[in-house]
Structure 1
Amino acid sequence: MYVDPPAPQPRQPGENPPLNGNGNPLEALPRAWEFNPEYQRLVTAWQTVLPLLEGLTTALDKAYQLARSPQTWDAPVGTRYVEDIGAWRSRLALYRQAVLTSISEEAADTPRWVPSAIGAPHAFS
């Protein structure tokens, strides 16, 4: 079993954009910020795909448990079906890990806040 990578966190109530204060007077100018729409897209993708993957895993686990029951199969062919379902479970676990890892890694590389053009000071406006 794999451990899911960290999920991208949605904007929390009361969360504020970053402050400019690294000592550079040019960067101390007021700047308008907005929550990054690309980051929000990743949050939405995670929240959409995780319940679907959970549903698939639950359904396949239930089928696997039923297939392993001696009351289900009374023929040698039953072991082949159990092995097939076990292989599907393994592939689904790898697929889940790949999908969630790709979303998590992209979220780690995407800034949560980006400068906004709305409300930003412009010369001669």
Structure 2
Amino acid sequence: MSVDPPAPQPLRPGETPPAPASTGLPSSDRATAWEFNPKYQRLVTTWQQVLPLLDALALRLDEVHRQAMRTEVWDAPVSKRYVEEMAQWRAGLRLYRQAILTSISDEAQEDRTPRWVPVNAGAPHAFS
């Protein structure tokens, strides 16, 4: 059984944005306002939506597989092929789960999608 990759963590109560480095020199970093990154929040939300669906699929497929393996349910030569086919579906679903969760987890890494981003402080932009 494989282990799921680390999930993106939602904003925790009381969590504050990163503190600027205090070198004693004036810096524009100190005037920067921060917000929890909306793109990171979408990754958190996606993970929370996808995980229960993947769990439900695996649960249903495991349940049907267990039932199909019982001889009281189906005792025919074709049942062996059917059970083997379901085992392949289960393996495919595990790979699919790993791929989906890994792609979300990889995208949520700090170097790709930071948790906090500077807020646009209303500075004028050309052509706005």
Same fold at TM > 0.5: yes
Residue of structure 2 in register with 1:89 after alignment: 90
Structure 2: stretches of 5+ with no match in the other structure: 124-128
Deviation digits for residues 21-62 of structure 1 (CA, Å, limit 9, x no counterpart): 152532453210000000001001100100100110000000
Count of residues in correspondence between the two structures: 120
**Structure 1: tracts of 5 or more residues without a match:** 121-125
The structural deviation recorded for 1:119 is: 6.9
Distance in 2 between residues matched to 1:118 and 1:44, nearest whole Å: 26
- Which segments of structure 1 move beyond 3 Å, counting only runs of 4 or more? none
**Identity rate of aligned residues, in percent?**
58
AA in 1 matched with 2:65: Y
Is 1:74 aligned to residue 75 of structure 2?
A: yes
**Aligned AA (1:111):** P
Q: TM (normalized to structure 2)?
A: 0.88
SS in 2 for 1:29: helix
> How far apart are residue 83 of structure 1 and its match?
0.2
Aligned equivalent of 1:113: 116
How far does residue 70 in structure 1 lie from its aligned partner after superposition? 1.4
**How many angstroms apart in 1 are the aligned matches of 2:72 and 2:15?**
55
Q: Does the 8 Å CA contact 1:53/1:96 hold for their aligned counterparts?
A: yes
TM-score (ref. length: structure 1): 0.90
Whether contact under 8 Å (1:32, 1:119) holds in the other structure is: no
CA distance in 2, matches of 1:77, 1:13: 56
Matched residues in 1 for 2:97 and 2:43: separation? 16
Per the alignment, residue 104 of structure 2 pairs with 103
